[in-house]
Structure 1
């Protein structure tokens, strides 16, 4: 049985100009111990979908889903009190921008221990011991001194490690890492990714990695879900996806990788992700797609079967080009 199962998830935000759909009929499944990557440009709804799962969206958001279950428990039907017992303990999240996610008014030790007190009921001595253990696990030197430091006294890489320590403090069964390497230099990025994969292997937790970096996906994930404008447009195992993408958007993302460039100028995807007022009638990628025709521009595309990567496309790509 899947650890996490989300079916037909949609998130709408109320704005002064009307409703805007940030996530559109998204499906997500994660098995125990699996690493799933969700990739796509900014504005694709990756983070919003996971914040909806966590129950952390503002009051302007309306969340609907045919199914949203964790370990067989229906998250749509439980009370807020019951959800709070799950979120932060069994489901944890590493948020974007660690420098702004940590509370500047409290030491990092206080912020790590807060979850241990709330979810596990540990006494002060046990919380201190566990906090030191977590700081050592994430590779922070001199952990006893660092526990008394404030977020502004730590570098971006160290703050990200503190965020990871907070997320894994209660030994979650599912960890969501939202752009965990954003704004970090390349060396620190590699260290953070190695840390996450090592922790996943040691604890057996499932990991959802939200990113726009296909290189990170290739090194880390086992399965990839590609998002575009709030919709899932393709899903495959990592190897098949890199070898044979079926959606033109996935193909364009992979073509933009420097190691795949065949010319001195990297290929780019023209245009931008559609917003509230320029959403196409048909395929959402049609205005930017080199293969789009009148059908694509006027008719929403079907979802192809699993052997074609569940591509949301009228004309999925095949081995030697367009199908």
Structure 2
């Protein structure tokens, strides 16, 4: 069953110097019981795209899409009240930085119980019992006592588990995890990922995992979307993506993995993700690409065939080298 179907999602933010496009023409589908990973550097628009779907962006954001369906419902046409009944219950999100996402003024038990009261209408005693069950499910010891604690009394890993408990409290159909292992040590990262995968198997929910860690992607995801500067540059199954990358950016990300490094010095991608004032006219990756040619600076590339991972590139890589299209003469910009 298809849970999420997004077509041509674009997010623009109004600024003093005009509009800045943070997400540019993103397509996304998530099926039930699927783990989809969205990867890319900071500034690639991963979190903004998901926050747009959740309806959590500020008023300065303008969101457009040809399609934005969740479980057959058109999110674009839902009223604010109807959308609030969906968000938090059927579609939930684990935010970055749990220490700043949790309200320091309220106990964790109160914060978990809020969604239970709003979406399920449970009584006070039923909410407390459900909260204890949730904390126990996410592996927090002595859950009854932890309910009365404030966020600053918990460790980073325990705070992340509280965030997961809040997100799954209403048994959502789709869970979006925005870099759930950021700022956690390696052993806690593994525990959190195992917990999310176990919960997915137990409940059958779809899982969208936003990350920049390709090792995490290899272990957890069935399909991968690679984003760069707000655009999707490659989409493929995890096995096929690791077997043969077709976009130079994906290839550069893979080369930067320590376990894949063949040289003494770890390879790095030169430059930074373009911002509002230095966005290239053609391919957004052209200033940093090792395979750039004339057309890349002036013409926005089209998506390649699914056999090439829908790579957004004039010359998708085949076997680690650009395709023969690099031999074509440069065209004048339209």
Give the TM-score category using the shorter length: over 0.9
Partner of 2:322: 322
CA distance in 2, matches of 1:318, 1:169: 45
* 2:95 equivalent to 1:95: yes
| 1:173-214 deviation digits (Å, cap 9, x = unpaired) | 000000000000111001000000010011100000000000
- 2:245 aligned with 1:248: no
Which consecutive segments of 4 or more residues in structure 1 shift more than 3 A?
none
- TM superposition score normalised by structure 2: 0.96
Task: Map 1:80-91 onto structure 2 (within 5 A).
Answer: 80-91=80-91
**C-alpha deviations, 1:275-318, integer Å up to 9, x for none?**
00000010000000011111011100010111110000000001
Distance 1:298 1:78 in 2: 39
RMSD: 0.6
SS at match of 1:314: coil
- Cα 1:20–1:176 change in 2 (3 A) is same
Separation in 1 of the partners of 2:320 and 2:126? 60
Distance 2:192 2:149 in 1: 20
Match of 2:14 in 1: 14
Tell me which residue corresponds to 1:195: 195
| Secondary structure at 2:194 match in 1 | helix
Q: Is the 8 A contact 2:32 2:204 kept in 1?
A: yes
1:257-282 deviation line (CA, Å, top 9, x unaligned): 01101011110000000000000010
Structure 2: where are the runs of 5+ without partners? 324-334
Q: How far apart are residue 17 of structure 1 and its match? A: 1.1
TM-score if structure 1 supplies the norm length?
0.99
Matched ranges for 1:67-216 at <5 A: 67-216=67-216
Q: Deviations over 1:110-134 (max 9, x none)?
A: 0001100100001111111110110
Counterpart CA distance in 1 for 2:83 and 2:35 is 23
Match of 2:239 in 1: 239
Q: Is contact 2:96–2:178 with CA below 8 Å preserved after alignment?
A: yes
**Deviation at residue 2 of structure 1 after TM alignment:** 1.7
Between the aligned partners of 2:122 and 2:159, the Cα distance in structure 1 is 24
Could you say if the C-alpha distance between residues 178 and 320 of structure 1 is closer, same or farther in structure 2, counting changes exceeding 3 Å? closer
**Structure 2 equivalent of residue 312 of structure 1:** 312
Deviation at 1:320, TM superposition (A): 4.5
Alpha-carbon distance in structure 2 between the residues aligned to 1:15 and 1:305: 36
Alpha-carbon distance between aligned partners in 2 of 1:264 and 1:152, rounded to the nearest angstrom = 42
SS of the aligned residue for 1:194 comes to: helix
Corresponding position of 1:263: 263
User: Aligned partners of 1:302 and 1:76: how far apart in 2?
Assistant: 27
Partners of 1:210 and 1:107 lie apart in 2 by: 27
Q: Secondary structure at the match of 1:290?
A: coil
Q: Which runs of 5+ in 1 are unaligned?
A: none
Residue 11 of structure 2 contacts residue 62 of structure 2 at CA under 8 Å; is this kept in 1? yes
1:170 & 1:21 partners in 2: Cα distance?
A: 34
SS at match of 2:165: helix
Q: What secondary structure, in the 3-state scheme, does the structure 1 residue paired with 2:134 have?
A: helix
Residue 60 (structure 1) aligns with: 60
Where does residue 32 of structure 2 map in the other structure?
32
- C-alpha distance in 1 between matches for 2:320 and 2:105: 57
1:140 deviation in Å?
0.3
Looking at structure 2, the residues matched to 17 and 320 of structure 1 have their Cα atoms a distance apart, in angstroms, of 40
SS in 2 for 1:170: coil
1:13 is displaced (CA, Å) by: 0.2
Q: Is the CA contact 2:245–2:320 (under 8 Å) kept in the aligned structure 1? A: no
Q: Is the 8 A contact 2:244 2:320 kept in 1?
A: no
